[in-house]
Structure 1
């Protein structure tokens, strides 16, 4: 497709997208059938690299271990815009029954990263031919390991953010019907932190608890107290979540175990709440030692900061989507989910666009074994993101 000489960019983008959409859907289905977990995306990265090579787009592989970085140079000097898509799957066994369902037991694209990868390949194809119109440079970031919140930093460590002035991200949303788009001003996704707590007691016979130090009772106290961090310590107007996702300890009915292990996550939108939650959870663990005669060891890890949308990228992108598709993106609420695109947004002005992927007649959700996004969101996403890039680098 050669569309750089057309005066109507919206029409050019729409026509180009219509031509390549069937191929993008085929790529999506191929990736979907062969899901790869975090930092294992070698086959997916190979597909991406082959497509970029076919398009004549310079690129390098092995960025952040299994990521791919492509570059499109504009027709004249200007800023650098990074557009990012994630590639990894989840450890979920697929139950959709689709002809292109995962061939790997226990692995599935249940978050739509196959959709994201094929969408960005479409954007690459469209923007390659619009490059003479672009004032600046586009960096195509095909990122591994978003689900474990490590891939963005790994790619950045290998230069993915070098020279980047702004960043554009996107995510499919099955809670929005296909054809709709959404956005949030400011913090749209939460900081995600995690902790491991080992509560060490003294094992003994269940019939003689006075001769032991029971870590299970201590763990029960800790779990109950941890919930008071949000309800009684964090400011009510600062959203926060503390969830204990795993507890392990003991072997049978009549033995008090030696220790209990807990795993938990903390989600916050405000820096003050993030600091307070960590300090409170550490304090409760220290207090447990005195109150319950146990020994506590906590490993607390701050993973990613909140993802904050910057109006300098958000506003031009919203105008571009409306101009391209005649649909005004709808303002929504922040989510306490997390995204490591925040690693880019923490460095440069950024915006993550919400792309409706809900199929008609389905009430679907991410991260489940039956997830089936409407593939029409691929072409719509290509149009929206291509027009946004053109607007940002006009």
Structure 2
């Protein structure tokens, strides 16, 4: 039972009072989505709200990120709370009154929800700063959805200086509102992209013997690439190699000079990133020799996989479970990538799952008709705030 004057009850009261404003902010951001690092308007909305609740935001961190600090003035751990702000290049099909006004851009991953959620937690934690010890850094990040990482840019600008641990979060439309989830241990996948240009010799389709066909070589290579995961990676280690694009030729009866493949590699184990890259390079060398072509292979290393810290999971589970009377639930890992993992490489980190399912709908992330339930904003803000208070409880209270 939550007592009327307990920290949980205070958090609920603060966030419920702010909920109409948080929903309005979310809808404003949804109507004006911005992509990658070009989130100047969104960052301005965030900074204005932080100032309104009594904080002093720092803008332009990692190009267009925003940070603010809640410092209790008492010794204790330094916790970072992170939300992402950017949208996706998707044409919205929801028909909502606050649908995107920016052609070809949409908050189809719920980063508008995330931004509003962290603003709610910021207000509660700032007003309750006498209830805990230590420091909280609020991190509002651009460019989570792009290869050029906003987390990397903000880290380079010092967002992790002095930070001891970090909490991120993501909405999940598969889970009902009020459901919180976690992945134990390895939570998601690393993401590496590759391109292979295969160069042959063009010629007439009726005289293939006078040409070197890069399309046939590419087709052969695509099939060979699929043997890397099935025959070289430990079957107990999750991994997937996907060729997402193949480009070559312009008409029916001409063998072209070149063909290009583009793809991605996802895995959870660092050693498999090296193994798969070496295997792709070896197969390219084999295709060159066997099919009389040349290959130019490039691999761009992306973000690593995230390992959720067990102590942070335990704190979230206890704080949220005690307040709501229901446990946070385990969810399976995935090979989806998330640049919060760059933070997890440097400090203990955990990404909390927040249910956002709208009753009667079957929504999925990155979908043009994505319509999450806005009740998840306040509930998520309460869950984040409870977790922060549990992690930053004064030592005397922690011992009790």
The Cα of 1:140 is off from its aligned counterpart by 0.4
1:52-104 Cα shifts (integer Å, max 9, x gaps): 11112122111111100111112411111000000000000000000000011
Q: Secondary structure at the match of 2:68?
A: strand
Cross-structure match for 1:335:
334
Cross-structure match for 1:51:
49
- Count of aligned residue pairs for this structure pair: 389
> Is 1:309 the counterpart of 2:308 in the alignment?
yes
Which of 85, 88, 92 aligns to 2:86? It is 88
Cross-structure match for 2:284:
285
1:165-214 Cα shifts (integer Å, max 9, x gaps): 00000000011111111101111110111111111111111111111111
Q: Counterparts of 2:73 and 2:94 in 1: how far apart (Å)?
A: 45
TM-score by length of 2: 0.96
Do the aligned residues in 2 keep the contact of 1:76 with 1:132 (CA within 8 Å)? Answer: no
Do the aligned residues in 1 keep the contact of 2:7 with 2:131 (CA within 8 Å)? Answer: no
> Is 1:300 the counterpart of 2:299 in the alignment?
yes
Q: Counterparts of 1:7 and 1:96 in 2: how far apart (Å)?
A: 42
Do the aligned residues in 2 keep the contact of 1:183 with 1:354 (CA within 8 Å)? Answer: yes
Do the aligned residues in 2 keep the contact of 1:192 with 1:303 (CA within 8 Å)? Answer: yes
Cross-structure match for 2:61:
63
Do the aligned residues in 1 keep the contact of 2:31 with 2:101 (CA within 8 Å)? Answer: yes
Cross-structure match for 1:324:
323
1:206-258 Cα shifts (integer Å, max 9, x gaps): 11111111110011011111111111111111010100111111111011111
Q: Secondary structure at the match of 1:387?
A: helix
Cross-structure match for 2:343:
344
Cross-structure match for 2:127:
129
Q: Counterparts of 2:347 and 2:259 in 1: how far apart (Å)?
A: 42
The Cα of 1:274 is off from its aligned counterpart by 2.0
> Is 1:243 the counterpart of 2:260 in the alignment?
no
What stretches of structure 1 move > 6 A for 4+ residues in a row?
none
Do the aligned residues in 2 keep the contact of 1:111 with 1:366 (CA within 8 Å)? Answer: yes
Q: Counterparts of 2:146 and 2:225 in 1: how far apart (Å)?
A: 24
1:252-293 Cα shifts (integer Å, max 9, x gaps): 101111111111000001122222211111111111111111
Q: Which runs of 5+ in 1 are unaligned?
A: 1-5
Cross-structure match for 2:218:
219
Cross-structure match for 1:3:
none
Q: Counterparts of 1:325 and 1:41 in 2: how far apart (Å)?
A: 35
Q: Secondary structure at the match of 2:159?
A: coil
Cross-structure match for 2:398:
none
RMSD: 1.0
Q: Which runs of 5+ in 2 are unaligned?
A: 394-400
